[in-house]
A and B are shown apart, each in its own frame.
Chain A
Amino acid sequence: DTEVTQTPKHLVMGMTNKKSLKCEQHMGHRAMYWYKQKAKKPPELMFVYSYEKLSINESVPSRFSPECPNSSLLNLHLHALQPEDSALYLCASSQSYGTGDTEAFFGQGTRLTVV
């Protein structure tokens, strides 16, 4: 199983809503990531979890709150978003570093629209 599964595939939310994006992998990977991708732009890193601990936060606004309940799951909690937060949110995972096997596998993404 080399799959990273993201749900939902599409999400429309109002600026006062609270919602969560979910990501799951069963490859035994110990690093998981959230990326944000706007149209015709490359993915931009938001967060990195390594061994279930937040190791990188790329100065993301607090209206985005990541959570890693266990080594297979990664959530992104959304609250009070702005229309400019509308984007494709990609989750990825990779084997722990130092093993020479660090290619990141991406999920299909959640297309988020904030209205």
Chain B
Amino acid sequence: EDKVVQSPLSLVVHEGDTVTLNCSYEVTNFRSLLWYKQEKKAPTFLFMLTSSGIEKKSGRLSSILDKKELFSILNITATQTGDSAVYLCAPESGSGNTGKLIFGQGTTLQVKP
């Protein structure tokens, strides 16, 4: 059975802090791993990782994948109150022309001023 575990489940920090969010997974026919940020409604795409050891960066956010140990981390440096959201990790399982994202339960991040 496919499994995605995110930790911590929730986190409260102050502006300027650095946070590391963790995602471990066991999925069949793994293709890639995606990170999303969800505030009120739609999850918004952050990163897609397909190769081990290659860090992806976007501003203060970065992420890396370890396909041998089956985990990924999402780092946020110099956090701001606007980073408060639920961060979802979603490995993609698929074959041929179809596949699906399997979401973890999310990490709820609250950044206090």
Contacts and interface: CB of A to CB of B under 8 A. Distances in A.
Contacts, number: 65
Interface in A70-115: 88, 90, 96-98, 100, 102-109
| Chain B at the A interface: SS class | strand
Contacts of B100: 33, 45, 48, 56
B58 interface: no
Given A41-B105, A42-B104, A108-B41, A50 B48 contact: no
Contacts of A31: 97-99
B43 to A, nearest CB: 5
B106 interface: yes
Contacts of A8: none
Interface residues of A, number: 28
Q: Which bucket holds chain B's interface residue count?
A: 20 to 34
A43 B103 contact: yes
Contacts of B31: 97, 102
Interface of B: 31-32, 34, 36, 41-45, 48, 50, 88, 92, 94, 96-106
Interface of A: 4, 30-31, 33, 41-45, 48, 50-51, 55-56, 88, 90, 96-98, 100, 102-109
